[in-house]
Chains A and B, each alone.
Chain A
Amino acid sequence: QKEVEQNSGPLSVPEGAIASLNCTYSDRGSQSFFWYRQYSGKSPELIMFIYSNGDKEDGRFTAQLNKASQYVSLLIRDSQPSDSATYLCAVRGGYNKLIFGAGTRLAVHP
């Protein structure tokens, strides 16, 4: 079992819709969770971090954490073509390292 699992996609949504990206993790002791966006050929950029159960909102982005189910999600409201990218879920491990999933490719079509 991989430590962090994501559906590779592609997830295709129409412009203006809500995109829902999901991630599960195996270490029940994990406390910090991150969502990164990565455009093709570029490095990851942090969108959200979350460490408390429930929802955390920042603009069009909402991160959701359910530690009992070991599940993290990212919702993108009013999706735009510029949101088309790969979204990486990461969990903090020992030495402050990040353990990444393989990423979900999102395609927002006009």
Chain B
Amino acid sequence: ETGVTQSPTHLIKTRGQQVTLRCSSQSGHNTVSWYQQALGQGPQFIFQYYREEENGRGNFPPRFSGLQFPNYSSELNVNALELDDSALYLCASSSPGTSISNEQFFGPGTRLTVL
């Protein structure tokens, strides 16, 4: 157990709908990163939030957006869902800084299925 929680565990949506996924970071961590893991692939970086601002983004379209709240919890929002958005969405929390071994702690993930 890493202390990072995500909700919901599973979610089924239809194409065109919108979805919100939630993440609570580990105590003391103020940086949250989101990853998408398609079946059979490694996780792909979506974006990172630090002090309530987006602090780096991967190669994902603008319909993927996020928020971070003052308690460092975070949301991932996906609009206009597509079939290819079906994946495991992972949230990872970390402490800030440039320590060479700065570890990211992953939550259990949310399995999103788009029909």
Residue of A nearest to B55 (CB): A95
Number of A-B contacts (CB under 8 A): 64
The reply to whether the CB of B94 lies closer than 8 angstroms to some CB of chain A is yes
Measured in the bound complex, the distance between the Cα atoms of B33 and A92 in whole Å is: 13
On whether the beta carbons of B55 and A102 are closer than 8 Å, the reply is no
The reply to whether the CB of B28 lies closer than 8 angstroms to some CB of chain A is no
Measured in the bound complex, the distance between the Cα atoms of B45 and A108 in whole Å is: 30
On whether the beta carbons of B56 and A94 are closer than 8 Å, the reply is yes
Measured in the bound complex, the distance between the Cα atoms of B71 and A30 in whole Å is: 32
Measured in the bound complex, the distance between the Cα atoms of B4 and A45 in whole Å is: 12
Measured in the bound complex, the distance between the Cα atoms of B111 and A24 in whole Å is: 29
Number of interface residues of B (CB under 8 A): 30
Flag A23-59 by CB within 8 Å of B: 1 or 0 each: 0000000011000000001111110010100000000
On whether the beta carbons of B103 and A49 are closer than 8 Å, the reply is yes
Least Cβ–Cβ distance between B101 and chain A, in angstroms: 5
8 Å CB contacts to A: which residues of B63-115?
88, 90, 92, 94, 98, 100-109, 111
- A contact residues around B106 at 8 Å (CB): 43-45
On whether the beta carbons of B104 and A102 are closer than 8 Å, the reply is no
Query: Residues of A with Cβ closer than 8 Å to B?
Result: 4, 8, 31-32, 41-46, 49, 51, 88, 90, 92-103
Query: Residues of B with Cβ closer than 8 Å to A?
Result: 2, 31, 33, 35, 40-45, 48, 55-56, 58, 88, 90, 92, 94, 98, 100-109, 111
